[in-house]
Structure 1
Amino acid sequence: MNSLDEQVIIITGGETGIGRATVLQLAGLGARVVIGGLLEDEGSRTLEAVAAIGGKAEFHKADVRDVHQVDALIDGAVAKYGRIDGLVSNAAIFDGFASCIDTTDALWDQIMNVNARGTFYACRAALRHMVPAGKGRIVNVSSIGGVVGMADGASYTASKHAVVGFTKHIGCFYAKNGITANAVCPGSIETDVRSNSKKILGDDAPDMGGVGANQDWLKQAVPMQRKGSPEEIAHMITFLLSDKASYITGQSFVVDGGWTAK
């Protein structure tokens, strides 16, 4: 039996991209996965994919910008299953590489509210249950934009740096309670983050073209000269949720094809 069998794991933004790949890996390992997300059609398709492999998952519409919805997602899962073993805070939106001057107040607020505030809300709600239980695994999805300054736009970079710093704090502070918290920092990954971000941002969405919209830059930026797959990030997330990572906390793991190693 693997260490994730029958574990109750909640993931925000689990209906698309890295989130969906993680849901499928976790469900394939026997975990009970509770997905919180905004995109209901994508959530339904993810559940269909989970059912096809014989896994267990459920989808709840939840906006991580709303503390009441986040609390309801996590408290509801604990009420149903009696515990929370793991949290993956993955919900995020992109800023289209907008520079500081080009970042509107509305864009800054939206990016920070989803990426940073949403991670805070989810971790706080999960910790309220994990601390009394004396155990738990938290994985926050940041970005290489959380460790370097020239991979993304101004607001996205600030939000993902916030996720890394916040993860270090909770990883250290709650280690004595049997809880680990780590961040995963993907590089350029094959996802629909641009189009999904436009759906969520609405009128606040910037132009999502420009840098990174074509493949030419890969030869210059990424030693592997390709984008990563969502599954490659999900492998790291799954590992950090497992007992194999029991002595790892407060760390950030870059998965970027060598981009930041240059």
Structure 2
Amino acid sequence: MFDFKDKIIVVTGGETGIGRATVESFARAGGTVVIAGFLEDEGDDVVSSLAKENLKAEFMKTDVQNEEMIEDVTGKVIAKYGRIDVLVNNASIFDGFAGINETTTALWDKVINTNLRGTFLMSRTVLKYMMPRGEGAIVNVASVGGVIGGADGLAYTSSKFGVIGLTRQMACDLTAKGIKVNAVCPGMIQTDMRKHSTRILADDAPPMRGVGVNPDALKRVPAGKKGVPNDIANAILFAASPYSNYMNGHSLMIDGGWTIQ
């Protein structure tokens, strides 16, 4: 269905969970994919796994909190491939449902700097190369927790509300310049985000509540089950493809019907 042959795609946080499924889907659709990720072993595993299918992907160590590293990695992509056709801002860390009284300043800063500031920095840097060409697609991974309260913790919710606002304003600024910007909003998806967030946050990690399937939480979801990473990857590919060319500034809810109620 999707054809990304000869397209250069950058996926932040593309080494695990939704990001990995997205990288694999783009590669299987013919794209050349750069994983701008933080976890090297996981990133190398994605690359080697895809190489066995003769598919194109590579890993570049990136911390989206670090502006200099973003500039460096983006420059390397441009030097090697000449352009970036699609940017997927997927890199995120979770706050373990920490509320206002449990959220330390360090936790707040790391979540906001990764999820929101990182999306801004990565977009602004890549746009320096997209805008002169007058074409490109940016897909931001937000969350159901970016449109409703009570789905996540304080910092994560704040960051994802910010990502949706960023998406809408970027679309207002860029649509007439040939660049479309949209977001996808995952609901309950089966990933290891809590484990990886704990590892990245290190000493600043809160207790990661909500591990496993919570039957009471699933009562919120008409589908009655969690989604899988490919459910989100398919939406991301749609948002990046020509099939969505008249869709701009939109936030696609991929949540089993959670937010229709």
Give the structure-1-normalised TM-score. Answer: 0.97
Report what 1:198 is aligned to. 198
Residues 188-236 of structure 1: per-residue CA shift (max 9 Å, x gap): 1111100000000001000002x46433224412111111000010000
**CA distance in structure 1 between the partners assigned to 2:11 and 2:186 by the alignment:** 17
Report which stretch shifted further, 88-97 or 72-81.
72-81
For 1:133-173, what per-residue CA distance to the aligned partner results, in whole angstroms no more than 9, with x for missing partners?
10000000000011111100000000000000001011111
Tell me what 2:147 maps to. Answer: 147
Distance 1:183 1:77 in 2: 23
User: What secondary structure sits across from 1:208 in the alignment?
Assistant: coil
RMSD of equivalent CA atoms: 1.2
Change over 3 Å in CA distance of 1:150–1:218 after alignment to 2: closer
Residue 88 of structure 1 and its aligned partner are, at CA, apart by 0.2
Alignment partner, residue 99 of structure 2: 99
Deviation at 1:52, TM superposition (A): 2.5
CA apart distance, 1:53: 2.3
1:2 Cα deviation (Å)?
A: 5.4
Structure 1 runs (4+) deviating above 6 angstroms are: none
| Unaligned ranges ≥5, structure 2 | none
In the TM superposition, what is the alpha-carbon distance from 1:7 to its structure 2 partner?
Answer: 0.2
1:13–1:35 contact (8 Å) kept in structure 2: yes
Q: 1:171: which partner in 2? A: 171
Question: C-alpha displacement at 1:255, in angstroms?
Answer: 0.2
- Specify the alignment match of 1:214 in structure 2: 213
Question: Would the aligned equivalents of 2:86 and 2:136 in 1 still touch at CA under 8 Å?
Answer: yes
Residue 69 of structure 1 is matched in structure 2 by 69
Residue 39 of structure 1 pairs with residue 33 of structure 2:
no
Partner of 2:128: 128
Q: How many residue pairs were aligned?
A: 261
| Rounded Cα–Cα distance in structure 2 between residues aligned with 1:86 and 1:219 | 33
Q: Deviations over 1:16-50 (max 9, x none)?
A: 00000000000001100011111111111111221
Matched position secondary structure for 1:182 = strand
Matched residue SS, 2:215: coil
**Structure 1 vs Structure 2: percent identity of aligned residues?**
48
SS in 1 for 2:219: helix
Letter in 1 for 2:46: T
Kept in 1: contact 2:2–2:237 (CA 8 A): no
**Distance in 2 of aligned mates of 1:75 and 1:177:** 22
Aligned to 2:254: 255
TM-score, normalised relative to structure 2: 0.97
Aligned to 2:157: 157
CA distance in 2, matches of 1:142, 1:178: 22
Question: 2:130 and 2:45 mapped to 1: Cα distance?
Answer: 30
* Cα offset, 1:123, TM superposition: 0.4
Q: Partner letter of residue 249 of structure 1?
A: N
